[in-house]
Copies of this chain bind each other. A is one copy, B any other.
Amino acid sequence: MAKKYERKQAPVIAGAAKSVTLIDVARVAGVAPMTVSRALNRPELVRSDTQRKVIEAVRATGYVPNMLAGGLASSKSHLVAILLPTIANSIFSDTVQALMDGLTTSGYQTLLGLTGYSTSREEALVEAILGRRPDGIVLAGTSHTDATIERLTKAKIPVVEIWDLTDNPIDMVIGFSHEKVGVAVARHLIRKGYQRFGIVSVDDPRGLRRCESLKNELAKHGIVDTSFEVLPAPATLQGGREGLTRILASSSPEIVVCSSDTLAQGVLAEAASRGLNVPRDVAVMGFGDLNTAAHVCPALSTVRVDGATIGKNAAEALLTRFAAESGYEGERLNVRIDTGFTIVDRESA
């Protein structure tokens, strides 16, 4: 009697070779399809000689497991989605690299979505992405539409919000307080004796919060005439040049603080082309990562954020959750990591 799991009919059209499936491998190996599945996914449950036969058959047939089918059957997609505003000039690149390193090592793949700093685009992306049944999702920021939050909550998958903190996370949060950055920068610079400030920010929610917090803290110290220029996102060098130009049109600050390093470098370029000496004529402060800032211009100060740590922690948090939900149930995690930040001065760089 024919084995039950044989294909109902062999391919008829010669050219249209159906792709090879578990069943084909099973036939070649002389075992049941289920055994092939186990040999591939849980080798410890299979005798080693059976294992060898299967591996051999896989190679012989050129079999590539269909993860759509596997995911459908097992409700595990081995997919993690990452939503970022943009990857241009990205302060997120270290984070993404570290996150993907961690996930790839454990057999997860990464779906990327770019929101362009728009929560409505984020909403649309989240809806589309959830259709792919990812096992987890990572979002930049903690500000989302109600619909996004609701869908994410109902999806019942691990969610990590990164690069910010909040008291009402959807699930897990790994980041730092942008308000604290503003306050810390204000106090730091006041302590160093600065009195006249300029601020250049792009229209990005977190950048604006840093800069507004800075401005507020300055006001608390009696510094109220701070010029504040906002440029359209994303940050570009051209934006920085434009920002300084506008600032200088109406004031003459001792220091210009920027919402990102990219912007700060644009300010440096504009200063150079105006023959201004940095930091003697005007000092410049950025935000982001040492690699893109202090090294380029020893005259530049910056706020250093450890993006790689954020990514690494996010990967670990997700993987732990995945393991927990697979039955190695430990106690429910409640991940909230404040990664902090460091102010890097030109003297200390």
Residues of chain A having any CB pair with chain B under 8 Å: 62, 64-69, 71-72, 77, 86-90, 93-94, 96-97, 100-101, 104, 107, 109-114, 125, 127-133, 151, 154, 236-238, 241, 265-266, 268-269, 272-273, 291-292, 295-298
Q: Which residues of B contact A109 (CB under 8 A)?
A: 111, 113, 128-129, 132
Q: Are B292 and A237 in contact (CB under 8 A)?
A: yes
CA distance A268 to B296 in the complex (A): 7
Q: For A238, what are the chain B residues with a Cβ–Cβ distance below 8 Å?
A: 291, 295
* Interface of A, helix, strand, loop or mixed by DSSP: helix
Quick one: which of A238, A295, A297 has the most chain B CB within 10 A?
A295
Give the contacting residue for A237; candidates B88, B272, B291; CB below 8 A.
Answer: B291
For A67, list chain B residues within 8 Å (CB): 131-133
A87 pairs with B93, CB closer than 8 A: yes
- Contact at A66–B131, with CB atoms within 8 Å? yes
B291 near A269: Cβ-Cβ < 8 Å: no
- How far apart are A22's CB and chain B's nearest CB, in angstroms? 12
8 contacts between A and B (CB under 8 A): A67-B132, A68-B132, A88-B97, A97-B114, A110-B111, A110-B112, A111-B111, A269-B296
Q: Taking CB as reference atom, which chain B residue is nearest A121?
A: B104
Given known A111-B109, A112-B100, contact A130–B77 (CB-CB < 8 A): no
Which residue of the partner chain B has the closest CB to A266? B295
What is the minimal beta-carbon distance from A15 to any residue of chain B, in angstroms? 11
Q: Give the shortest distance, in Å, between A23 (CB) and chain B (any CB).
A: 15
Minimal Cβ-Cβ distance residue in B for A273: B298
Nearest residue (CB) in B for A150 is B62
